[in-house]
Amino acid sequence: MERESFSNDINKRLDSFINQNYLLDNEPRTYLGASAIGEDCYRLIWYNTNGLHPDYYPSAQIVRRFQMGHLMEEVTAKLFKGAGYNLLTTNEWSTQFGFEDLDGKIQGHLDGIFFSSNESILQHNIPIFWEHKIMKDDAKYKKWQKLKENGVQKSHPNYYSQIQFNMGYMRAMHDGFSNIRQTILTAFNTNTSEYHHELVEFDSNYAQGLVNKAYIIATTTNVEALPRISKDREFYKCKYCAYRDTCWEGK
């Protein structure tokens, strides 16, 4: 008990620091980002991208997982570069590759781009976009294993939408990238430290549908004009939504 109490006391202090600083480090977004476009609920996307504070904030444990994702992205990028891959994670201005539309109301950023070299992953020396994710592979959800077995479109449609949205915009808004038709998704298994890499092909019709969806949401000024995902606030996606009270009770 004494040993457990010692550990708990430290954890409480660490968690308190995270909780106190989360808002300082994570102001609500005021733009629609690529990572949000795959959500089924138009209202959730609108709330997430119009500067509204949620009804509750993620736990310290979840925040640490967000931080782990950023750290592992850096580690994985260094591994690719060390292994001889010509992966760039920033442009000539030392910022992420990305795009903006509708005066910044729609934005997206890439984790990196593989450029031409002697690598076998490139076809005809055409660059390939790069997206990095971390995934649990516990007994209950097996997220990483499902990705490996079924592919990202079936296992993680949100990630697939993010990838297609980014490809569509990057091709359309950057002349030098108009011929890119592939993204490498790298998934790091946080249970076993294994990697899985999937080559995702560009789907122009799918991407255009997401752009249309983004325009509807980004140009809507009153959330009441957008439909809820369900007519029942007890629907499972509503039940665990961070904007549930705001949406259903106008709080």
**Tens digit of each residue's pLDDT (9 = 90 or more) over 75-97:** 999 999 999 899 999 998 899 99
pLDDT at 117 over 90: no
pLDDT at 122 over 90: no
Name the pTM for this structure: 0.93
Residue tagged 């992205």 (tokens): 73
Quick one: pLDDT at residue 147? 97
Give the pLDDT mean for 20-45: 89
Q: What is the pLDDT of residues 170-201, one digit of tens each?
A: 999 998 899 999 999 999 999 999 999 999 99
Phi, psi of 31, rounded to the nearest 5 degrees:
-145, 160
**Do you know the residue count of the chain?**
251
Q: What is the pLDDT of residues 46-75, one digit of tens each?
A: 999 999 999 988 899 999 999 999 999 999
| Number of domains the chain contains | 1
Quick one: pLDDT at residue 140? 80
What CATH number did the domain enclosing 49 receive?
3.90.320.10
pLDDT at 132 over 70: yes
Q: What is the pLDDT of residues 193-250, one digit of tens each?
A: 999 999 999 999 999 999 999 999 999 999 999 999 999 999 999 999 999 999 998 7
Which domain covers residue 157, as residue numbers? 2-249
Cβ neighbours of 196 (radius 10 Å): 17
Q: How far apart are CA 64 and CA 42, in angstroms?
A: 28
pLDDT at 149 over 90: yes
Quick one: pLDDT at residue 26? 77
Instruction: Tell me the C-alpha to C-alpha distance, in Å, between residue 153 and each of 76, 158, 195, 199, 230.
Output: 22, 8, 18, 11, 23
